[in-house]
Amino acid sequence: MSQSSKTYTPTIGIECHVQLSTKTKLFAAVGNDARDARPNTLISHICLGMPGALPVLNAKAVELGARAAFALNTTPAAFSKFDRKHYFYPDLPKGYQITQFEQPIVLGGYVEIESEGVKKKIGITRAHLEEDAGKSTHPAGKDYSLVDLNRAGTPLLEIVSEPDIKSAADAKAYARELYLIVKYAGISDADLYHGNMRFDVNVSVSSDPNVLGTRTESKNLNSFKSVEKAAEYEIKRQIELLEKGEVIIQETRGWDDAKQRTFSQRGKEQAHDYRYMPEPDVPPIILSEEFINEIKSSLPVMPDEWRNRLLSLGLSRSQIDTLLEAEIDNEAVDYLPIIESNLDNPDVAKFIANYFVNIEIPMRHDGSVSDKLDNQARSTIYIAIDRLIQDNKLSSTNAKALLTQLLKDGLSPTDIEEYAAEQGYIQESDSNEIEKIVEAVIAEFPDAANDVKNGEMKAIGFLTGQVMKKSLGKANPGMAQELIRKKLA
């Protein structure tokens, strides 16, 4: 490949379809959770687009759409409305999708990401409510296709970003942050495996920073990794074409996860004319100021606010992100509220956060934490263990061992110090006791003792080790070393 001296700037914009966590569909009182349902069992005359069927707007979907506005750092539109977007496909029985084209429920806003240590604001163009289509499957080797309409009419929020994303890594960071946002705001279950979030990634490159290149759209990506890989692949592919003097074709592309590449699906010449028109059967959404204020005050603590609170403890960004993701991985476990309830004592809060990140969360990933401990019991255990460390009664090694045992067995002893003592975790900090052991060790290893006297400090480590061994690991090592120094000074 020829190398030119040109540098290319990538420009990326992302559209994300988020499935709203309502019980029923956007315009029909039909169940919404198609995950384990047999094909075509969650349908009604409305989902099938029967003549004369009238859609009835789901109030919960409107509430979640309004909530999304605040989650995206803006305010919901007081007035928004629906339009018909026409296209013909077997999984769209009406021949049109009901969507918000002209006046969406969310206009503007932003998502803040951090990538490679730099904070960046990615603008949000808009977010609109719309219904999902059904699902077509094309069995291999057969001369027919199958249509399942369970998903037809499922409420979606399509979140459209500004083309503010400048690299594949930032695209991934944006997708991940959007996931945290919709999950924390309670807008979506955000089950990526079941397609609750689907990303369309628009990529162009240009050697002139003032002129945008021709863009391609890679559709229906359902993981952060594939967002990153597809953006990376498109950037590279487009630069290579331009370097060869070829042109980029504006087109829709798919992502082949097995081959880790994008492929052409349809070109611009086949692009649809959607013949948008106002939806006559669904009245516009008019939100009162009172309703908007209510939604605003019901928004829970969002990821960014959690980060600010946790940063004050001196935790690293990656530790905080581990906590933020763990919190939503298991809804029964309240990592963040437990840390927060101790914020008036930052040392304790930081201790708990560190132990969550280093011990409990990895144990949960292995499935080795008992379900028997509730949040209250766990909170008590962490606070008690920290106290025992502060009082020099537990070494950090033994603290980890004790905690691991309690989490694994699901035990919450009423007196944790007593339990730790019974189990042999409490370290000896009685200087008389340790002194006796130190004296015995010095007598047993006179050569090492002489080395210490002659200033060979390595021997102190050896003798301390012997004291620990003799005390069966219970001696406070700091205290033992101090006593050895004193004796041999």
Least CB distance to Mn ion at residue 185 (A): 20
Query: Which part of the chain contacts Mn ion (CB under 5 A), choosing from 135-143, 156-164, 270-278, 308-316?
Result: 156-164
CB closer to Mn ion out of 158 and 321: 158
Least CB distance to Mn ion at residue 385 (A): 50
d(CA 341, CA 457): 44
Query: Which part of the chain contacts Mn ion (CB under 5 A), choosing from 6-14, 151-159, 166-174, 196-204?
Result: 151-159
242, 207 Cβ separation under 8 angstroms:
yes
Least CB distance to Mn ion at residue 17 (A): 6
Any long-range contacts for 173-179 (C-beta under 8 Å, 24+ apart)?
Answer: 173/113, 173/114, 173/115, 174/14, 174/111, 174/113, 174/122, 175/14, 175/16, 175/199, 175/224, 175/227, 175/228, 176/224, 177/111, 177/112, 177/113, 177/303, 178/16, 178/18, 178/111, 179/224
21, 61 Cβ separation under 8 angstroms:
no
Query: Residue 215: CB partners within 8 Å, gap ≥ 6?
Result: 11, 202, 203, 204, 248, 250
Least CB distance to Mn ion at residue 226 (A): 18
Instruction: Write out the binding residues for Mn ion, residues 376-395 only, by CB under 5 A.
Output: none
d(CA 254, CA 232): 14
Instruction: Tally Cβ neighbours within 10 Å of residue 295.
Output: 21
CB closer to Mn ion out of 158 and 170: 158
Instruction: Write out the binding residues for Mn ion, residues 272-331 only, by CB under 5 A.
Output: none
Contact characters 16-55, Mn ion, x per CB under 5 A? ----------------------------------------
Least CB distance to Mn ion at residue 173 (A): 23
CB closer to Mn ion out of 26 and 407: 26
CB closer to Mn ion out of 158 and 360: 158
Query: Which part of the chain contacts Mn ion (CB under 5 A), choosing from 154-162, 172-180, 225-233, 265-273?
Result: 154-162
Least CB distance to Mn ion at residue 408 (A): 46
Least CB distance to Mn ion at residue 96 (A): 13
Query: Which part of the chain contacts Mn ion (CB under 5 A), choosing from 45-53, 107-115, 157-165, 419-427?
Result: 157-165
Which one, of 390, 402, 393, lies nearest residue 475 by Cα?
A: 393
CB closer to Mn ion out of 158 and 164: 158
233, 168 Cβ separation under 8 angstroms:
no
Least CB distance to Mn ion at residue 5 (A): 40
Residue at shortest CB range from Mn ion: 158
Query: Which part of the chain contacts Mn ion (CB under 5 A), choosing from 56-64, 150-158, 457-465, 470-478?
Result: 150-158
Least CB distance to Mn ion at residue 85 (A): 8
Helices (H) and strands (E) in the chain, counts: 16, 16
What is the helix (H) or strand (E) element at residue 335, kind and residue range? Answer: helix 335-341
Q: At what angle do helices 59-71 and 289-298 cross, to 10 degrees?
A: 60
What is the helix (H) or strand (E) element at residue 136, kind and residue range? Answer: strand 135-137
CB closer to Mn ion out of 154 and 395: 154
Query: Which part of the chain contacts Mn ion (CB under 5 A), choosing from 139-147, 158-166, 313-321, 467-475?
Result: 158-166
Query: Which part of the chain contacts Mn ion (CB under 5 A), choosing from 42-50, 152-160, 209-217, 461-469?
Result: 152-160
d(CA 224, CA 94): 33
Least CB distance to Mn ion at residue 130 (A): 5
Size of the site for Mn ion (CB under 5 A): 1
Least CB distance to Mn ion at residue 232 (A): 24
Least CB distance to Mn ion at residue 366 (A): 39
158 forms part of the interface with Mn ion (CB under 5 A)? yes
CB closer to Mn ion out of 199 and 335: 199
99, 210 Cβ separation under 8 angstroms:
no
d(CA 400, CA 462): 24
132 forms part of the interface with Mn ion (CB under 5 A)? no
Quick one: tokens of 386?
């920290």
CB closer to Mn ion out of 104 and 163: 104
Task: Evaluate the CA torsion angle 440, 442, 445, 446 in order and state its sign.
Answer: negative
Quick one: tokens of 223?
């993981």
Instruction: Tally Cβ neighbours within 10 Å of residue 12.
Output: 25
Render 158-190 in DSSP notation, one character per residue: EEEE-S-B-SHHHHHHHHHHHHHHHHHTTS---
Query: Which part of the chain contacts Mn ion (CB under 5 A), choosing from 119-127, 153-161, 277-285, 321-329?
Result: 153-161
428 forms part of the interface with Mn ion (CB under 5 A)? no
CB closer to Mn ion out of 83 and 148: 83
Q: What is the CA radius of gyration of the chain?
A: 30
Least CB distance to Mn ion at residue 15 (A): 7
- In DSSP terms, 112 is beta-bridged to 121
Residues that bind Mn ion (CB under 5 A): 158
